[in-house]
Structure 1
Amino acid sequence: MSFDLLAQQPKLLYLLQGVLAFAGVVCLILVLLHRGPARRRGAAFLLLAPALLLLTVGLLLPGLRTLTLSFKDGTGRTWVGLDNYVWLFTDPEALTALRNTLTWAVLVPLLVTAVGLLYAAAVVRSRYRALALCLVLLPMALSFVGAGLIWKFVYAYRPAAADQIGLLNQIVVAFGGEPRQWLVESPWNVLFLIVAMVWTQTGFAAVLLAGAIKAVPAEVVEAARLDGASPRQVFWRVTVPLIRPTLLVVALAEVIGTFKAFDIVRTMTGGQFDTGVLAHEMYTQSFRYGQTGRGAALAVLLFVLVTPVVAHKLRTQRSTR
């Protein structure tokens, strides 16, 4: 690559300079560790220095920049104080996005965990357990955009006189009903979007919970059966309490994922018909309307909502070790 080409591509030049600078820092650390005294704390700090540098540049500084922008107007130049946060809790569209996000955060973890648990319990003792888990895990191989497109076709609407291409409306028409615009009718359209999310995430829950069920000591289950417990009682009173830490980890992971929900909403409805969520509204305000201050305020709100869930998840994982 010639220097003239680098000069014409300033972004590429900056990237190359950053890579070289980071490589230089790593080389310097290795030299210092090789020649300097082998002190545990100093060596640990030097080894952590590249990661700390990347976290500072890639996470801490952008986070502080976003917090600063949340107190400015759409141009990012004029301070407006708390106006963006007042808008966030008074604007109808922003309140709808907040309500929908909380709905996602409640229903998606419950449904994913429940369906995954039942599916795992049904196939964990089966001879074809691996095949069954692979089948339910297949939707996770798709991106959320792909899943959204698939379910958009499932909900597709055509007038009653036309041939239906949507699976759901084909079923309705086959039983003598009238086709409906499933993604237009609020608030049910939010639930139809949630179904797409549950479809993609159930495999994740089923695989983890099947492993947890498989790890339940056989002697505990056998003792419960000898005491006269039915299979249903063994499952709900013995197996489920023993796999509670895994259930909690799955639920918390899904809560975090739903706060970031964007692709499915963007693909299926574009946030219209009262289906917007905070992540999509943040994108819309920042890049469609040019209101960077409002977009930054939405990002700060998302961070505040996600932080306690992440902290609780980390605490749970440490307690299960």
Structure 2
Amino acid sequence: MATAPAPTAMTSARTGRTRLSRRTTGILILIAAVLIVALFLFMVTREPVEGARPTTLGFSLNSFFIWIGGLGPLVQIPIVVVLFAAVVGVILLLIEYAPRPGVGYFWLRVAACFVIPVLAFMILRPYQNAVVYVVAIALLAGALLFFADYRSREGAGYVFQLVIFMAPAAILLLTGLVYPAISTVVQSFFDKTGEKFVWFDNYIWTFTNPYGFWSVINTVIWALFAPIIATGIGLVYAAFVDRARGEKFLKLWVFMPVAISFVGAGIIWKFVYDYRQGQQIGLLNAIITWFGGQPVGWLDAQPLINTFCLLAVFIWSQTGFAMVILSASIKAVPTEQHEAAQLDGANARQRFFNVTIPGIRGSLIVVLTTITIAALKVYDIVAVMTGGRSNSSVLGFEMVNQQQRFQSYGHSSALAVVLFLFVLPLIIYNVHQMRKQKEVR
């Protein structure tokens, strides 16, 4: 059976030169296309000569959007649907044809080099110095397309498809998370109007002014007590009702508060803490007066009593969450380990601390972290029950309060940064735990 002759060194060199020649030709075509588009845009956007008629395309996407806005809903909807379908179709064509070399691949690249600058021009045309931005966009588009071609050897259209699929998520993250975070940090060093640079005055205010100081102290209290108490109660309850008669109903009663929003929970417990002279409608003060005591204004009691009253509402709503997660983890602990410990003479308490707790360590970390983050960003309970009065405010509430009530964006931004610094150790710890789990696997 005849075999194909092995390629010689000369053949390999010729093939390499051919590939290099094609790549060079593609780069030259790309550069030429970008220059042609830039020249065209310069011609149509340049300042007109005195006495001459200005050259213009007479159309921009802004005018198109204005035109759509003036149409009726029955006309707008089909137009928007058609445009959306066209965009999706173009994306699908790019995904379909980008990995395959050939005529379609070449013309698709050429069209992209032309269409992208034209669209940029149609969007930016009403603005001054639009041609500079359009040329920059054209050069950037050409560079990205060249990079996609250069990296195509890693897989069929790998980079191109990656960009297509990742671009929307990346844009949303940049505009909705990264940019606001950077803007908040910068704003925290300016005054309430955002015009005068005040260095660390906003942070000094946070730890010295009563509004900021008590919001920090209360947030620390929430972050320390809420996860420990809620997780502890949920763990003990899950261990006691595990495999008990009527387990489903016993868990249902504890889990029900989780289905109630913080606003609803705040309204419910506001009636429990209700304080008034005369006949009591608040459950807690009604019990106190039955035993001959005087009613107490729980939500105005200081120092810190009102904070713990609010904290009880949060714990009530989070205990069921901890119970459900930890109950499932307890059931996942192998029964053989309990049987082995029992044979070794361990009692129920020893089996719980030496077998059950180590077996559900991962779930405990998840529950503690989740409840801690929820406690750090709590807002609804404070807003509904006290409105931050009597030194019961927390960072999440005071941040909104300073922005809306006092129009102090500098103070609000500083509080947001402090809140982020509180959350940061939790993020670092969770990343560290995830890395350890990957190493174990």
TM-score, structure 1 normalization: 0.89
- CA deviation after TM superposition for structure 1 residue 167, in Å: 0.8
287, 290, 312: which one aligns with 1:174 = 290
Structure 2 spans left out of the alignment, 5+ residues: 1-64, 100-155
Could you report, residue by residue, the CA deviation over 1:248-304 in whole angstroms, capped at 9, with x for unpaired residues?
111111111111011101111111111111111111111100101110111111112
Following the alignment from structure 1 to structure 2, what is the Cα–Cα distance between the partners of residues 23 and 79?
48
Q: Which amino acid aligns with 2:354?
A: R
Where 2:345 maps in the other structure, the secondary structure is coil
Aligned match of 2:217: 99
395, 404, 409: which one aligns with 1:287 = 404
Could you report, residue by residue, the CA deviation over 1:179-208 in whole angstroms, capped at 9, with x for unpaired residues?
111111112111111000000111110000
Could you report, residue by residue, the CA deviation over 1:30-87 in whole angstroms, capped at 9, with x for unpaired residues?
3322111124454334322211111111111111221222122212223222221221
190, 194, 197: which one aligns with 1:72 = 190
Could you report, residue by residue, the CA deviation over 1:3-34 in whole angstroms, capped at 9, with x for unpaired residues?
789469xxxx9xx99x9999877655433221
Aligned match of 1:250: 367
Residues 21 and 68 (structure 1 numbering): CA distance in 2 closer, same or farther, change over 3 Å? farther
Following the alignment from structure 2 to structure 1, what is the Cα–Cα distance between the partners of residues 198 and 280?
51
274, 292, 310: which one aligns with 1:156 = 274
Following the alignment from structure 2 to structure 1, what is the Cα–Cα distance between the partners of residues 367 and 159?
36
Q: Percent identity?
A: 43
Aligned match of 2:199: 81
- CA deviation after TM superposition for structure 1 residue 128, in Å: 2.3
Deviates more, 1:310-319 or 1:170-179: 310-319
Indicate the RMSD between aligned Cα atoms, in angstroms: 2.6
Q: Does 1:61 align with 2:61?
A: no
Q: Which has the higher contact order (CA 8 A, sep 6+)?
A: 1
Residues 116 and 72 (structure 1 numbering): CA distance in 2 closer, same or farther, change over 3 Å? same
Aligned match of 1:33: 95
Residues 20 and 297 (structure 1 numbering): CA distance in 2 closer, same or farther, change over 3 Å? farther
Is the 8 Å Cα contact of residues 157 and 181 (structure 1) preserved in structure 2? yes
Aligned match of 1:141: 259
- CA deviation after TM superposition for structure 1 residue 173, in Å: 1.7
Following the alignment from structure 1 to structure 2, what is the Cα–Cα distance between the partners of residues 258 and 143?
14
The structure having more radius of gyration, on CA atoms, is 2
Aligned match of 1:114: 232
Is the 8 Å Cα contact of residues 98 and 160 (structure 2) preserved in structure 1? no
Is the 8 Å Cα contact of residues 113 and 251 (structure 1) preserved in structure 2? yes
- CA deviation after TM superposition for structure 1 residue 209, in Å: 0.1
Is the 8 Å Cα contact of residues 227 and 372 (structure 2) preserved in structure 1? yes
Aligned match of 1:306: 423
Q: Does 1:165 align with 2:284?
A: no
1:267-286 matches, within 5 Å, as 267-286=384-403
Following the alignment from structure 2 to structure 1, what is the Cα–Cα distance between the partners of residues 397 and 85?
37
323, 335, 355: which one aligns with 1:218 = 335
Following the alignment from structure 1 to structure 2, what is the Cα–Cα distance between the partners of residues 179 and 7?
62
TM-score, structure 2 normalization: 0.66
Could you report, residue by residue, the CA deviation over 1:68-120 in whole angstroms, capped at 9, with x for unpaired residues?
22122212223222221221222132111101100100000110110110111
Where 1:183 maps in the other structure, the secondary structure is helix
Residues 309 and 21 (structure 1 numbering): CA distance in 2 closer, same or farther, change over 3 Å? farther
Following the alignment from structure 2 to structure 1, what is the Cα–Cα distance between the partners of residues 165 and 193?
40
Aligned match of 1:124: 242
Is the 8 Å Cα contact of residues 249 and 316 (structure 1) preserved in structure 2? no
Where 2:299 maps in the other structure, the secondary structure is coil
Residues 51 and 153 (structure 1 numbering): CA distance in 2 closer, same or farther, change over 3 Å? same
Residues 26 and 101 (structure 1 numbering): CA distance in 2 closer, same or farther, change over 3 Å? farther
The count of residues paired between Structure 1 and Structure 2 equals: 311
Residues 32 and 270 (structure 1 numbering): CA distance in 2 closer, same or farther, change over 3 Å? same
Deviates more, 1:286-295 or 1:311-320: 311-320
- CA deviation after TM superposition for structure 1 residue 308, in Å: 2.0
Could you report, residue by residue, the CA deviation over 1:133-184 in whole angstroms, capped at 9, with x for unpaired residues?
222111111111111111111111122xx22111111111222222111111
Following the alignment from structure 1 to structure 2, what is the Cα–Cα distance between the partners of residues 51 and 230?
53
Residues 293 and 40 (structure 1 numbering): CA distance in 2 closer, same or farther, change over 3 Å? same
Deviates more, 1:214-223 or 1:89-98: 89-98
